[in-house]
Structures are given as C-alpha cells and as structure tokens.
Amino acid sequence: MMLSMENRHFRDLQVWQRSMALARDIYRLTETFPRSELFGLTSQIRRAAVSVPSNIAEGRGRLTHKSFVVFLSQARGSLYEPDTQIELARDLGFTPGNQADTIIAVAGEISRMLHGLMAKMRQEE
C-alpha cells in the first residue's frame, strides 16, 4: 500500500520528535565524558543516537508501508546501541546513574513507540 502524500512528513511523528530529543540529550550528556573518549565511546553513542531519527525520517520518505517498516526496524536496532553504551558509560563512571537511567527509560519508551508504529504499518500493508 502506498503512503498518502499528505501524511508523509516525518516531523509530525511523535516517535521522530522523541528520538530527536533523545539525541540532543545524549549529545549534552556526552559533553561531560572524558576527553580520551572523544573518538571512542562519545563518538559511537552520538552516531547511534543520530541514526534513530535519521532512519525514521528516511523511512517516512519511502513510498510504501513495507519500506517504512524496514527503516523503523533499523531505527529500533540503532536505538539499542546508545542504550547499551550509556549503560557502559555509567558502569565506567562517565555519567551519573540517574542521568543514565533517565536516558535508558526514554530509549525504552521510544522502542515501544517504534514497535507500535511498525505493527500499525504492517496491518495497513
């Protein structure tokens, strides 16, 4: 099934908005990481965080539900990367536990949103 042209803008999707906010929060959080991690964990977490809304946006630009679901799935996979990496950063003492817990909780919420949207898209195929 083709996506209707009037409903194609990714910026209208709450899951994109939430994932953009998460990416901004991750950028702010990683500013406090040790300088020695700039090309290591900091870079990796940031790339993964940016990948989530980027995949949602790219998928929304596709013309079929099936294509969109593929990109939503990629976004969900990308979401698990910063989730894991933030947990590692907490374990290494790079970030306070409460900040890590908040980001991990938001990532979980976004994961559920992505799952729900994928299920909806599959039903409409």
Does residue 11 carry a pLDDT above 70?
yes
pLDDT digits (tens, 9 = 90+) for 35-66: 999 889 999 999 999 999 999 999 998 878 88
Residue 57's pLDDT is what?
Answer: 94
Tokens of 79: 């979401």
Does residue 79 carry a pLDDT above 60?
yes
Residue 93 amino acid letter: G
Of 5-9, 39-43, 118-122, the poorest mean pLDDT is in 5-9
Mean pLDDT over 104-122 rounds to 93
Instruction: Please give the domain boundaries of the chain with CATH numbers for all domains.
Output: 10-29+37-123 (1.20.1440.60)
Three-class DSSP labels, the chain: CECCHHHCCHHHCHHHHHHHHHHHHHHHHHCCCCHHHHHHHHHHHHHHHHHHHHHHHHHHCCCEHHHHHHHHHHHHHHHHHHHHHHHHHHHCCCCCHHHHHHHHHHHHHHHHHHHHHHHHHHHCC
pTM for this structure?
Answer: 0.88
62 vs 73: CA distance, rounded Å = 14
Residue 2's pLDDT is what?
Answer: 42
